[in-house]
Amino acid sequence: MADRLQFSEREALDFHSHGRPGKIEIIASKPMATQRDLALAYSPGVAIPVKAIAADPSTAYDYTAKGNLVAVISNGTAILGLGNLGALASKPVMEGKAVLFKRFADVDSIDLELATEDVDRFIDAVELMEPSFGGINLEDIKAPECFVIEQTLRERMNIPVFHDDQHGTAIISAAGLINACYLTGRELKDVRIVVNGAGAASISCTELAKALGVRDVILCDSKGVIYEGRTEGMNQWKSAHAAKTDARTLAEAIKGADVFYGLSVAGALTREMVKSMAPKPIIFAMANPDPEILPEDALAAAPDAIIATGRSDYPNQVNNVLGFPFIFRGALDVRATTINEEMKLAAAHALAALARQQVHEDVAAAYGVAHKFGPDYIIPAPFDPRLIETIPPAVAQAAMDTGVAQKPIEDMDAYRERMRERLNPTTAVLASAYEQARARPKRVLFAEGEEEVVLRAAIAFKEGGYGIPVLVGVDDTKDLLAKLGADPAGFELHNARHSPLVPKMVEILYDKLKRKGFMRRDVERMVNRDRNVFGALLVALGEADVMVTGVTRPFRSSLIEVMRVVDSAPGHTPFGIHLMVGRNHSVFLADTTVNERPSAEQLADIAQQTAAVARRMGQEPRVAFLSYSTFGNPPGKWLDNVRAAVAELDKRGVEFEYEGEMAADVALNPAHKKNYPFSRLSGPANVLVMPGLQSANISAKLLRELGGERMIGPMLINMEHSVQIAAMTSSAGDLMTLAVLAAAGIAR
């Protein structure tokens, strides 16, 4: 089993403090450049929608952000597994929740921390904010107060109120239970579940399991079985699930049980208890950070068990991010007045059905969904791009069916299509690349090991569990690592001054360059003094799988040095790609780094290989060969190569859309389509092949500095060994991204 994701306190604090403190900001969704813009946004233009809303309150959903705005609210009385640390300490968690809403379902969210443990004051404060929000997500509020707060707010408010600590875990575990019972041939009405833990999540899991049709559930807390007649440590929520049983301990209750739900503490379930369960036991050990029993221990006791945990490093992660963003998405889109039991059940069934769907090979490769439905895959992966087109429609339909939808969806197929277009699938690939790197760790060589930004990237790469960092450094590199808080003993360091590999390197490189104008002493000097040559030779000798360099010298200088050692991939043209990642789109620019004036054949090859990268990044490629001219207007002498490249792809019979020559606005703006109805592109281009290095490099750097969106790259493609040359201004995060994309096999 892989180690859990690791990072240092320093990295976590740096992440939250770097640049703009915190994780969220508010940006205007309308232009604010001119005085007229401001007049429309505020006075006097704002008076018009004010009057409209006063006349018809429902129009607030049309003229304000209310319909896509959720408040994440906590008083900090049950923060993660840390306990009652107060409202202010909960703010990083609530900001994080807001980020997840946006990232996974494009729901805008704002965090609100209320400094009170008084239930009535908390309820009153939240109730008064109903005009501001389309929904309320309660978070990290201790039991039993959370039950009172949620129930009262649901009764008083006419917008969805959802305590995710309760219902999120319940919905995801219910989906897993449906599929685990399917695989083991059980009927839900016949299974017996033992639930260990009697907090908010445990009781919600119990209630939803019963709503699924489970009739036999025994609930346990720290004092043992909750049975009929027990008085010690009871409350109304526990009493509602008191069982008629002679069992008094978890060990007694678990005998013969089909299912174990654990929402308690590490080690609560022993191997002996697992052995006493029914054949093919179903175990949901969901305590965090450490489960009630480790999967390897459970499998040692029952090799036929199906196991889920709350951890990402084991199969079947019960992860709330599979639920709350998409549930609110569906609820908001029909303006639901509540999130009821039927909507929660619809989400659970939709999740279960998604896990049973066959994953196309391309999707599996792109998103790291490597498993097919079975004991190790009963719950979808968190980065499965199909979640947004599956869960919100199911929730919305349930809201409509139960009469709580104020704005029913008329065309559900069109709604699913809008959901598909709402998010950028590349972001899911970028996220899953980190998981792929952790699952198959590679040795990544960082060639500039005396630079602080490089060392920070290497430290983060190691602490994240993405692979083994190999440093080309100097005598002081270990001291530099120690100053940054890392243990130098955990890093492999190579220094040409002391490396026993140098004589072999000289022989290899001299044999390669001796007929290209280099004398032996030239080669010796390069190996001993040039970190890029030395690093590339380490990769060529198998001492590392990937090389990352570039922050100490211009790209072209680094490329020349690397290519003295590493050839291009046989039959291919090396080139560079910059990737611009927006909220709901990605654009690939090539060739931005290598070929000054590519031939038609090279342009065709660049287009074909960039299309392959786009597919690996979750995009269906639409290639535009760019020019100052659009289909011959204006004419010019530099168009022949581009036209010949299009003809070359015609001959190759490639399986993606391509067109050219065309200007950039024609390639990207759908409004131009009417002027060129013969264009073979079905939508805006997402792969832009530039006619030459000058235009490509200028475009990429302008977009990096002015575009306002995330720019990744350059990514060096079509090299015999995986080498990435970063921009000189790269941050540690940029270097990490290149290293992970190369290690995961996406940039190659």
Query: Residues annotated in the binding site for NADP(+), as ranges?
Result: 79-86, 288
Q: Which residues pair with 374 in a beta bridge?
A: 377
Query: Hey, how many other C-beta atoms are within 10 angstroms of the C-beta on 428?
Result: 26
Binding residues: 79-86, 139-140, 165, 288
97 catalytic, yes or no?
Answer: yes
How far apart (Å, rounded) are the C-alpha atoms in residues 237 and 160?
Answer: 22
* Residue 206 DSSP SS3: helix
600 contacts 409 by C-beta, under 8 angstroms: no
Structure tokens that stand for 736 in this block = 């990490």
319 contacts 172 by C-beta, under 8 angstroms: yes
Q: Which residues pair with 588 in a beta bridge?
A: 579, 687
List the strands of the sheet with 722-725, edge to edge.
492-494, 467-472, 442-446, 546-549, 722-725
432 contacts 381 by C-beta, under 8 angstroms: yes
Give the H or E element holding residue 167: helix 164-183
Residue 246 region by backbone torsions, left for phi larger than 0, else alpha for psi between -120 and 50, else beta: alpha
Place of tokens 């289909």: 631
Would you give the DSSP letter of residue 229? T
Query: Which is nearest to 366 in space by CA: 314, 442, 432?
Result: 432
Binding residues for a divalent metal cation: 139-140, 165
Structure tokens that stand for 273 in this block = 């208890």
Place of tokens 């709402």: 422
Strands 687-689 and 442-446: unpaired
Rounding to the nearest 10 degrees, give the CA dihedral for residues 287, 289, 295, 296: -140
Query: Which is nearest to 339 in space by CA: 197, 164, 189, 462?
Result: 164
Strands (E), 289-347: 306-309
Task: Give how far the C-alpha of residue 458 lies from the chain's centroid of Cα atoms, to the nearest Å.
Answer: 21
CA dist 250 → 200, 207, 235 (Å): 19, 19, 19
Structure tokens that stand for 8 in this block = 């240092």
How far apart (Å, rounded) are the C-alpha atoms in residues 747 and 724?
Answer: 8
Q: With 0-12 CB in 10 A as exposed, 13-18 as middle and 19+ as buried, what is 37?
A: middle
How far apart (Å, rounded) are the C-alpha atoms in residues 49 and 644?
Answer: 55
Max intra-chain CA distance, the chain: 93
Half-sphere exposure of 377 (CA within 13 A, CB side): 19
Task: Give how far the C-alpha of residue 680 lies from the chain's centroid of Cα atoms, to the nearest Å.
Answer: 33
How far apart (Å, rounded) are the C-alpha atoms in residues 709 and 721?
Answer: 30
Q: With 0-12 CB in 10 A as exposed, 13-18 as middle and 19+ as buried, what is 512?
A: middle
462 contacts 489 by C-beta, under 8 angstroms: no
Q: With 0-12 CB in 10 A as exposed, 13-18 as middle and 19+ as buried, what is 676?
A: middle
Annotated active-site residue in 30, 51, 66, 97: 97
Would you give the DSSP letter of residue 668? H
Task: Give how far the C-alpha of residue 348 lies from the chain's centroid of Cα atoms, to the nearest Å.
Answer: 21
127 contacts 65 by C-beta, under 8 angstroms: no
CA dist 118 → 87, 91, 114, 142, 162 (Å): 12, 19, 10, 12, 19
How far apart (Å, rounded) are the C-alpha atoms in residues 329 and 325?
Answer: 6
Please name the amino acid found at residue 431. A
How far apart (Å, rounded) are the C-alpha atoms in residues 607 and 602?
Answer: 8
3-class SS letters over 393-418: HHHHHHHHHCCCECCCCCCHHHHHHH
**Which residues does the annotation mark as catalytic?**
97
